[in-house]
């Protein structure tokens, strides 16, 4: 029996790419729809209501005057399609948020969790009654607060597999890990290579047959072409040689070592948006479909599994 897996990652809260991702289930006849980490967005855009009933907002560096409700809805959709959040408020509320960073953080987190709840509600409605199951993991950018929410939203068609092993259709076992090795940004799920190695080991050692397994790990294995990016120093400035920014591998040595040790059937990765690639580590096919969420483009990978082999795979874009 063949199992059809569709994988995408690093959507960073882009509504447009998430809707495309849900549509991929039917289009690719997927048995398993796997959403890799970095689900959440990075910025909250205030939309300020003025006394004359109009609105204003600054978005992508441009000041926008919003004259009516239709323009307001259009702006909300533009913001969400780009992976940002919005909140409608008056001028006094905006000034209060500027004075109180804690209150701003609370609003951001509430808005972020509300969007994830909405996404899972959409997925539940779209996938209920079909043969497709949605599997979700976190990513290093995602705050830990999403874990309790996504665990609470599990159902017959939605499974949150962060820090877990589980079985998908066809009897393939999958582990899910959203952590990354340490990055210059010091993200919520950044951990040391030793910690990452121990976490993978604890899950992989419980898998009955790794030759029929999937390692769904957010960060790609080191020096595989899935992890090539411009190198940054601790001040988030480009590392330069001869005045030119330097490209290099930023993936995890722990992930590479664990894949080489256990030789799963497939590794599904993301994290480095610009490193869309496929690489073989021994018998393991490692895939990073890349991400262009800001442009509303869904990068993905269709992988067809059969017994102890990949019968076909395809990188997709649309």
Could you report the per-residue pLDDT of 32-73, keeping only the tens digit for each?
999 999 999 999 999 999 999 999 999 999 999 999 999 999
269 vs 31: CA distance, rounded Å: 19
pLDDT score recorded for residue 296: 96
Domains of the chain: 2-42+107-317 (3.60.21.10), 44-101 (no CATH)
pLDDT tens per residue across span 2-38: 999 999 999 999 999 999 999 999 999 999 999 999 9
Would you say how long the chain is, in residues? 318
Tell me the pTM.
0.96
pLDDT tens per residue across span 231-289: 998 889 999 999 999 999 999 999 999 999 999 999 999 999 999 999 999 999 999 99
pLDDT tens per residue across span 292-302: 999 999 999 99
Q: 46's torsion region: left (phi>0), alpha (psi -120 to 50) or beta? A: beta
């Amino acid at each position: 029996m063949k199992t059809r897996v569709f994988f995408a990652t690093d959507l960073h809260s882009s509504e447009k790419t998430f809707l495309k991702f849900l549509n991929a289930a039917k289009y690719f006849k997927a048995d398993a729809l796997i959403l890799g980490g970095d689900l959440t967005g990075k910025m909250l855009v205030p939309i300020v209501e003025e006394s004359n009933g109009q609105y204003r907002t600054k978005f992508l560096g441009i000041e926008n005057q919003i004259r009516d409700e239709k323009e307001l809805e259009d702006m909300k959709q533009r913001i969400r399609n780009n992976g940002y959040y919005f909140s409608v408020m008056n001028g006094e509320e905006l000034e209060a948020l500027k004075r109180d960073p804690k209150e701003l953080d609370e609003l951001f987190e509430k808005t972020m969790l509300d969007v994830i709840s909405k996404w899972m509600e959409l997925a539940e409605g779209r996938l209920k009654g079909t043969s497709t199951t949605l599997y979700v993991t976190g990513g290093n950018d995602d705050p830990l607060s999403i874990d309790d929410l996504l665990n609470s939203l599990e159902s017959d068609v939605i499974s949150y597999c962060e820090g877990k092993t589980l079985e998908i259709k066809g009897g393939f076992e999958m582990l899910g890990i959203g952590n990354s090795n340490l990055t210059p940004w010091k993200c919520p799920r950044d951990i040391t290579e030793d910690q990452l190695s121990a976490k993978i080991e604890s899950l992989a050692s419980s898998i009955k047959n790794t030759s029929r397994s999937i390692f769904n790990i957010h960060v790609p294995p080191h020096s595989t072409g899935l992890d090539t990016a411009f190198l940054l120093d601790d001040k988030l400035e480009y590392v330069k040689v001869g005045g030119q920014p330097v490209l290099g591998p930023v993936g995890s040595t722990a992930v590479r070592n664990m894949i080489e040790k256990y030789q799963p059937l497939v590794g599904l990765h993301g994290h480095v948006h610009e490193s869309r690639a496929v690489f073989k580590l021994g018998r393991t096919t490692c895939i990073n479909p890349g991400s262009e969420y800001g442009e509303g483009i869904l990068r993905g990978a269709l992988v067809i599994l059969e017994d102890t082999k990949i019968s076909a795979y395809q990188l997709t874009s649309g």
